[in-house]
Structure 1
Amino acid sequence: MGEVKSLFGADDAELSQLLSQAKQDLARNAAPTTTQAPTDRVALTVPFRLATSDRPLLQLDPQTGTARIDPTARHTPLDTNAQPVDPTVRRKSPSELAREKDQTAGKRWFGMAAPVLTPELKNNLRVLQLRNVLDPKRFYKKDGALKKMPKYFEMGTVVEGPTEFYSGRMTRKERKSNLVDELLADKGARDYFKRKVGEIHAHNESGGKNWYRARMGGGKGKGGNGKGGSGKGGDRGGKHGDRG
């Protein structure tokens, strides 16, 4: 018989050769291989133009060679994030804007508003203007700005520090709603005001008709002084008695 052929058309020698080659390939693949460390590479790219949006607004027509605006690229991402304008809001006129600007003192004064001048607020400002005569033990520099009513101002409360707890603190009973009530509640201040008002009236009336009448004993005229009439009559009676 000739050489024995396998079912696949190869003899035993070829099969053994193929098996040995496959074993060598498996052993080569299973052996550890040394891997090289990857090197970092930085790619420097310089853009040819500034990207204003994701899509360019201009589109080149290949047929005519002219550039035209792309209608689909008009809305940029900034436009999509912007709040829509309410069409029902009316634009303010220059006079209205000037009136709103005149209602505050501006950013330099932190938007201090012009308050509504109520009678109570006017009295408090008047007390501040006359503060130099309220306390005889304190001297205040004359301020010409307080002669007229200010337009922008705010009223506040002075908070005493911990070191002035007994010296500069007012009790809850002494605290009032405004300056005028606090002054009227102070008996010492009322007595001082009454005395100063009397001195001012006496100074203003000195040299006048009422002051002269008070100095002369309250007489009202020539015949009103009874002392003068009785004195003259007594003198006349004495003279007649001497003659008789």
Structure 2
Amino acid sequence: MTNLNIQFRNRIGFPEYEPITFDNLATVLEKSAKSIPFENLCIIANRTNEITKENLINKIISNNEGGLCYELNGILHIFLLENGFDAKLIYGVVYDHNNQRWSTTGRSHVANIITHNGKKYLVDTGFGANLPLKPVPLTGEIITSSNGEFRVEKAQTEQGNYILYIKLKYKDAVWKIGYAFDTTKAITDYSELNNVQKIIMEHPESSFNKKPLITQLTDKGSVILTDNSVTEWIDGKVEKQDIDPKGYKDLAKNYFGIQA
């Protein structure tokens, strides 16, 4: 077993020597979502590094940081391969519900597709608080987790050939589009993720280059921290508090274990 395999398990609290199988992959995804925050602090601080396998391991495992979709799903991809999964990284386009259109940042979402017993599944640990927490088959079958209901349907669009639909527990009364993705164009090298990072850093309509954001799922819901507020979802009830920007760093450390 490699150091990365052991270190990732330790990072998320999964037993070192328990085999990772398709049957317990949901446990890996849930533990990852509750251990590794979705955050853009390196983007905001302008201290990003080139995306390489080594740098992903250093950031998320060695330095105990979180990351955005391309980093979180990038490190998960490495871990899946280490444990014998047939996995590939793919691009997606997030749906912008505020403006009722596909995101103008284009194919800037990154997720995993795994193949198990000839069947393909979407596996995503980098979609903020909107995570399925289980592999979602590309068949339209509805998957239910502690975070809500999720399904993937085939749909030929300019954005890709499948669409993820989500209905978050306590939050969504009806199904909504999460993102479209393309299974025909796999990411073949981690260096390709630098293009995604560049878009997120520089695009004027990127939602991640304006102000700091940290979010993570919890046993009872989720927590979201910005430089001026903290929002907690606890058993379906939301509590939001304005905060003093001076206290932001303390809250980042207390809630997420991150040095902001």
**Same fold per TM (> 0.5)?**
no
The two structures have a TM-score, normalised by structure 2, of 0.17
Which has the higher relative contact order, 1 or 2, with Cα contacts under 8 A spaced 6 or more apart?
2
The two structures have a TM-score, normalised by structure 1, of 0.18
Task: Determine which structure has the larger helix proportion and give its number.
Answer: 1
Task: Determine which structure has the larger strand proportion and give its number.
Answer: 2
Tell which structure's C-alpha radius of gyration is larger: 1
